Amino acid sequence: MGDEDLIELKFRLGDGTDIGPSKYSQFMTVASLKEKIIAQWPKDKENAPKMINEIKLINGGKILENNTTISEVRSLPICELSGIVTTMHLVLRPPIFDPKKG
């Protein structure tokens, strides 16, 4: 995989801190990207996500679907500059309370 297949991304958390930047394959899906984010989650942060469905990634004002690839996301005008770090906003969904589990 050449450098032209990689895109540099960082993820802005709700408190203004970032995860990254790191380089990712443009053929990676958003779901795989979320798995990497969970693995890279800062140890000093509370409420770390455990599943990809707890994370929403937003780029260019659009919520990214899990089955979308980074190359499809790059088609958004906000991502088309090569050599630039793209910032995606990361929002955690609150855990869903299940009354059956107490």
Q: Is 61 left (phi over 0), alpha (psi -120 to 50) or beta?
A: left
100 found inside a domain: no
Give the domain extent around 74: 3-92
Strand partners, 43: none
Whether pTM > 0.85 for this model: the answer is no
List pLDDT tens digits, range 10-20: 999 989 999 99
CATH number at residue 86: 3.10.20.90
Q: How many domains does the chain have?
A: 1
Considering only CA atoms, which of 50, 3, 43, 2 is closest in space to residue 19? 43
Residues 6+ apart with CB under 8 A from 33: 9, 24, 57, 70
Residue 86's pLDDT is 85
Given a contact cutoff of 8 angstroms between Cβ atoms, the answer to whether 66 and 31 are in contact is: yes
pLDDT (mean) for 54-82: 79
30 found inside a domain: yes
